[in-house]
Structure 1
Amino acid sequence: MFTKNFRCASWGATLLFSASVALAQRSPYENIVLADCGIGLGANGGSTSREMIYYPGDVWTGNGLDTYRPTMMVNVPWSGSYPWGQAGGVSATMPNGDVFTVHIDRSIKDPNPAGDAWHKYELDKPLKCYSYHWDKVYQLADGKWCSSAYVCNHRGKPYVKPGSGGGNNNDKDDTTITGSTNSDWVELYEQTAENVVATVRRMFNDKSTDCDTTAISIGSGCTIEWSCHANEGHSELHSLQRLSTAFANLGKTKEYSSKRETTTRICRTPDTRPGREGQCLQWVDKVDHYVKVPRKIKMTMDNIPPKGSGRNPSEHGNMEYEIKCSKSSLECALCNIIGTGLTVPSAGIGASVLIGCISSPLCR
């Protein structure tokens, strides 16, 4: 029976699907390079820009000065003083919305620890920043080169040579599926959560690298739209199948949806005898069923190479749905049910499903 009285509303929920059941760190091999770009071309021979450059894995390939390509970068504007070491630290927002904050002691020399960094998505796992001045780390679109001033990571040193961190190029990569949703839920009449997520099976075939985005009616004045993409070179069909299986397994769990029933007494046999019009000879109970599901969920499948392999993480593909209705509601059923975390078996994708919630300020 669905509980009607919720004490709060969830601000957002994060779902983590991983071969590991433990609440593991999501980005143990990440690196953030605090870089100075266009050195010698700026005022008084200084740099022309300062950038935070994000790498999900190693920065250097191990082949001389060669580096991997970063996945995100953000410019840090000049605020009257050099940002790497300014009082109070400096923060910048990456294209994915993650906010990085760094505090640097400029008096520290290479290659020693010189400060710390944090990012919004894993505030409880700070990165250590090392003084590490190295030329030609990344070339901007205008041709200017960026040199590292500081490198922040969880590795214990600014640079770990690929192959020296306990892994090798023959070690098998791990595959993770991470997902996210917000606090917006929709309620559907005489529908099931399993049927809602099962609609994805109609949206791709064995030749697909992308989903058909045509809206599908799911009743109650609502439609569901799927979008997905599988990157070439990563067994495109297999990636989409595993993502769709992850959705199917999630739809079967009680934590994914909330149910309620309403009972209404209706007259099956009206009294038609003269003088008794409007009375009823037989009453029956009519039971209506409702289910609430998240309005939107996105999942991303990534390859995570072993530490020290020299390989960077790479994305297999992604899949998401969005339900569009005339109305939706803010609920915290998911957060109320699972608390800080819940693991749900998901054998179909060779992984366990770990679901955690981020509570709203309204949930207090």
Structure 2
Amino acid sequence: MARPDYYAILGVTRGADETEIKRAYRRVALESHPDRFPDDEQAHERFREASEAYEVLSDPLKRARYDSSRLLPEGLDLTRPPNVATARELFANMFGDVFGSRRNDRRKGRDIRYTLSVELADAVLGSSHTISFEGRGACESCEGSGTEPEGREAIECPNCAGGGEVKTGGLFSRRSKCGRCDGLGMIQQDPCVTCRGRGVIRRERSFDVRLPPGTDSGTMKVLRGQGEPGRFGGDAGHLRITINVKPHPWLRRDGQNLLAKLPVPFTRAALGGKIPVPTIEGWVDMEVPAGVQSGAKLRLRGKGVPDGRGGRGDQFVELQVETPKQLEGTRTKELLLELDRTMQREPVLPEHRELLAALAAHEGRKHQN
């Protein structure tokens, strides 16, 4: 379990006396007390950490035990056989990261991710949407600077010399986030009263999103600079919007084409004629040829997905011929029986005629025997 750096949390050096520790605790407590900021979870966590740090460092016995426990770097196990990894870990903790692999990006704003769910027609034909959510945005009072209007500019943190980190622990030192500036390396002299010097506040944010024709599910749109704002002039993050296309009740996309399965009464399949078909732009009448079979696919040209170059795919309609059920005692059953007798005498499919001829020849041979 990681050992917290109580000195860094309070923003004091390891040699600070009791008066400095008490003064630092009062400052942090005033900046983050839950009674002053009841809805700020970060402030609550910082107040808890500061109270825990003060409880230990203000007691000489507890402080001595704590200092002893921090003589070795966090996670360094001297019982392991030495190797390159342990040597590098020891070197980094004693002398810091002289190779510059610790990247300092504390001032850059974080990216925001948002999922926009749209109908299939909105994605295929193109559409505009307004999205809204509550998130961290630049404070309007100070325009994201964190400084009260006409106030003094932020200064370099004297505790960490602007580095955002402090070294504690003697010979086996380690780096920890500076508690005086919360790891930012800068301190507001005249913090904005609206955002308490942070430059950001939680507020309702709205954006207009335009989807071009042919947008597919999983497409990501990036609104650069519209994520969380940076600190002390840092770059803002990006707003990354992932498009989720909701299932359509009848249509399914397959590349630049659309697919549909359509039930057709067997009488219409036999006689042919026009039937209504759903498309991405509404219902249209489609001509069904007489005698069409179940599983047949018909094409509606130009009713598919735009390709972005002025062209457009097609829509394919797979016909599923319906067979009537629950016919007992109905006029439909009588008509079907008559139709069955007619089809036995006058089969339509060549395969059916061949089958009946083969059956007749078989019955003739049986009678001869």
* RCO comparison, higher one (Cα < 8 Å, 6+): 1
- Could you tell me the TM-score, scaled by structure 1's length? 0.23
> How high is the TM-score relative to the length of structure 2?
0.23
Structure having the larger proportion of residues in helix:
2
Structure number with the higher strand fraction is 1
